[in-house]
Amino acid sequence: MSLANYVLRRVVVTIPVLLGVTAITFSLLHVAPGDPIDVVTGFQNVDDDVEASLRAEYGLDRPVWEQYLVWVADVLTLEFGESPVTGRDVGATIAERLPYTLLLGGSAWLLSLLIGIPAGVVAAVKRGEPADEVSRIAALAGIATPNFWLGLVLLLVFGVHLGWFRVIPPDAPLLSLEMLWFMLLPTITLGTASAALVMRLLRSSMLRELNEGYVRTARAKGLRERTVIWKHVLRNSLIAVVTVAGLQITLLVDGAVVVEQVFSWPGMGRLLVDAIGRRDFPVVQASVLLIGVTVVVANLLVDITYSYLDPRIRYDR
Amino acid sequence: MALLEVEDLVVQFYTEDGTVRAVDGISYEIDRGETVALVGESGAGKSVTCLSLLRLLERPGEIVSGEIRFDGRDVLGLSDEELRDLRGNEIAMVFQDPSAALNPVYTVGEQIAEAIRAHEDVTDETARRRAIDLLERVEIPDAASRYSEYPHEFSGGMQQRVVIAMALSCEPDLLVCDEPTTALDVTIEAGILELLEDLAAEFDTAIQLVSHDLGVVAGLCDRVQVMYAGEIVERAPTEELYYDPKHPYTVGLMASIPRIGDDRDELPTIPGSMPDLVDVPTGCRFHPRCPYAEEACRLRAPSLVDVETGVPADEPAPNDHLAACHEYTDDLVDGLDYEVVVEDGGGLE
Ligand SMILES: Nc1ncnc2c1ncn2[C@@H]1O[C@H](COP(=O)(O)OP(=O)(O)OP(=O)(O)O)[C@@H](O)[C@H]1O
Ligand SMILES: [Mg+2]
């Protein structure tokens, strides 16, 4: 089977999963304590008439399955309705916040690969030597440090004491130099643990692969050691790492919730936390849905990368 | 000057149980175009010897002393760059398990073309065309389209053909084959051996063929060297070794080959097993298993001598018959006592 066929099949299989995500997201709020009407009415006792008309307005009087279908139909057209708390369009609110999270998460992810992969390769090749020991200790520290603490320390040292960074984001467009400079600390905060994980994982899978027969064949052919490692061994070792790197995307979303608070970063994480606090159901629903979809898409990308790296996978079944 | 000269090669592995002397002072040579077999039981040090030739040993293994000269050059003294130039280009290797020897994530064609590009300044297209050519030479049908297939799409026998194509890609002077058919089905074995024989003749390549199966060796090799516990215990032209084995270990090995028309239910095996290489027996290493062992065997290690004269040969000719047994220096009281029975077509009991 060609790679294109494989990708197509994976995409098709993803559709029911996405439907499942919408169903779970939708039902979450219906099993969660608290009635949306209370929020609208500001937790005051109101007339039954008023309440009934409010319910009708938000469609809360209709059967659950009908509410679900209406909601899915809206979601498919990217219509998330209006927040009963702020009165603003939910889609617009998210569109405002999403780029911040994507940029921060994306750069943290990139950082984790840019540091984790070379460090993992070096640690495996220099096994038992000082470089390996140093990276092992660094990785342990990286994994063990809670990211909110790391963020606070970085802010304190480089923001408050040294004054190299602002403590809150500058009032500048997202893609301005100022903003990107500010983003450095949150990126490090968010990317450190992932980098450490990728590094350790790659190291152990490289050590396994280095014992494989094809490595000896590659050397016996007279290839440069560089080619043996970076072409032959790395590609096989990455197969194990891709799964984790993909799942890291999910972790980065989680981490963003905390890190965005620490750095006052106006992304999805803070939006979600605020919305939960205010019982802003449509916003919570849309945010959770988005996170769910991100996870599904990340998994899809993992599968595709996986099959690109390892041709044997494409031929299964 | 022989193409390959190995002198007093010693290889050790440093393990938790102690230092393993996997190869203990072996010397031999291979001439241009010659086909030499290395036989012996599992653990005798055959693979380690092969890997040493290309300095492919990895930790915890190490070449401790000795010399390897190829075409007059000191292999152990080569720089990394010179070594890279030797590997694949002048000495190439075929490994035991072809499915492990090929990288699963690259096409077989790429793996052959890569070997060509590593040694010659050719365009990608030329390398590709030559790789296809090689696939045809090793009789892989539909070579052009199979070029872009992956190893797992090939059968074991076809994979080994690919490995052979890869090994021959730069027309090496010496092909080291470490049990090239052991991992394969017996029905495929003959085809691979025949291919090796034809190609070696065509490319005028010398072959060092490792096997623990004397039967495999018979058809292919000019000479045989028998290894036991890290040492060469006998060497002779193939036919002479078959009809007139001189070392009791070789006799034991021969008796355990099944032959056509053989109606024995169970083949005799040599009693006991190879000694632990951390703590080798005193004297002759084979004496604990040797039916003819005497006091002298326990005390002194025999040296490899000419079986006629009893004199160690410093520079043995290809046709010399040498064995490491006290019998040939007249140090045994009772002597060896076995009979070689040659049946029609050459058999032995
Ligand atoms: N990686 C290793 N670590 C420790 N000892 C090793 C290692 N590789 C080989 N040895 C030692 O070297 C000895 C010779 O091994 P070698 O692989 O050369 O045997 P062989 O003659 O090729 O046997 P086989 O027929 O099983 O392939 C073994 O008995 C083993 O004790
Ligand atoms: Mg072996």
Report pLDDT for B349: 39
Q: A310 to chain B: which residues are within 8 Å by CB?
A: 104-105
Q: Do B166 and A218 touch (CB under 8 A)?
A: no
CB pairs under 8 A between A and B: 76
pLDDT > 60? residue B15: yes
- Contacts with A55 (C-beta within 8 Å, 6 or more apart), sequence order: A37, A61
B215 alpha carbon – ligand 2 mean position (Å): 17
Half-sphere exposure of A111 (CA within 13 A, CB side): 20
pLDDT bucket at A174, cuts 50 / 70 / 90: confident
If you ran DSSP here, which 8-state letter would residue B41 be given? S
CB A304 within 8 A of CB A208: no
Which DSSP helix (H) or strand (E) runs through A4? Answer: helix A3-31
CA-based nearest residue in chain A for residue B117: A223
Please name which of A82, A7, A32, A123 lies closest in space to residue A283, comparing C-alpha atoms.
A82
CB B155 within 8 A of CB B187: no
Rounded-to-integer distance, Cα A298 and Cα A250, Å = 8
Q: Where is mean pLDDT largest: A249-253, A303-307, B148-152?
A: B148-152
- Contacts with A273 (C-beta within 8 Å, 6 or more apart), sequence order: A257, A261
Nearest ligand for residue B39 CA: 1
Condensed to tens digits (0 to 9), the pLDDT of residues B95-117 reads 999 999 999 999 999 999 999 99
Q: B179 to chain A: which residues are within 8 Å by CB?
A: none
CATH 1.10.3720.10 occupies which residues in chain A? 97-277
Condensed to tens digits (0 to 9), the pLDDT of residues A271-313 reads 988 888 888 888 888 888 888 888 888 888 888 888 888 888 8
Q: Does residue A128 belong to the interface with chain B, where contact is any CB pair within 8 Å?
A: no
Q: A216 to chain B: which residues are within 8 Å by CB?
A: 51, 56, 95, 101
B43 alpha carbon – ligand 1 mean position (Å): 5
Report pLDDT for A34: 66
Nearest ligand for residue B178 CA: 2
Q: A124 — phi, psi (to 5°)?
A: -70, -45
CATH 1.10.3720.10 assigned to A97-277? yes
Bridge-based pairing of strands B231-237 and B223-228 is antiparallel
Q: A212 to chain B: which residues are within 8 Å by CB?
A: 100
Tell me the three state secondary structure of residue A222: coil
**How many angstroms separate the Cα of B210 from the Cα of each of A231, B51, B277?**
30, 12, 20
Amino acid identity of B330?
Answer: D
Bridge-based pairing of strands B18-30 and B206-211 is unpaired
Looking at per-residue confidence, does B177 or B280 come out higher?
B177
Task: Kindly write down the DSSP assignment for every residue of B79-124, as one continuous string.
Answer: -HHHHHHHBTTTEEEE-S-HHHHS-TTS-HHHHHHHHHHHHS---H
Nearest ligand for residue B61 CA: 1
Report pTM: 0.85
Rounded-to-integer distance, Cα B104 and Cα A315, Å = 13
The residues pairing with B209 across neighbouring beta strands, listed in sequence order, are: B37, B177
Q: Does residue A312 belong to the interface with chain B, where contact is any CB pair within 8 Å?
A: yes
Please name which of A238, A310, A217, A221 lies closest in space to residue B150, comparing C-alpha atoms.
A310
Condensed to tens digits (0 to 9), the pLDDT of residues A195-208 reads 999 999 999 999 99
**How many angstroms separate the Cα of A163 from the Cα of each of A67, A155, A156, A262?**
52, 9, 9, 17
Q: Which CATH superfamily is domain B4-221 in?
A: P-loop containing nucleotide triphosphate hydrolases (3.40.50.300)
Number of Cβ within a 10 Å radius of residue B283? 19
Q: Does residue A125 belong to the interface with chain B, where contact is any CB pair within 8 Å?
A: no
Report pLDDT for B346: 45
Condensed to tens digits (0 to 9), the pLDDT of residues B300-336 reads 999 999 998 888 888 888 889 999 999 998 888 888 8
Q: Which of B48, B57, B78, B103 to mutate to test the interface with A (most CBs of A within 10 A)?
A: B103
pLDDT > 60? residue B147: yes
Domain map of chain B by residue range?
Answer: 4-221, 247-328
Task: Identify whether B151 is preceded by a cis peptide bond (ω within 30 of 0).
Answer: no
| Residue A38, token pair as written in the block | 């209370």
Please name which of B241, B260, B261, B239 lies closest in space to residue B251, comparing C-alpha atoms.
B241
Condensed to tens digits (0 to 9), the pLDDT of residues B215-240 reads 788 888 999 999 999 999 999 999 99
Q: Which of B41, B47, B57, B181 to mutate to test the pocket of ligand 1 (most atoms within 8 A of CB)?
A: B47
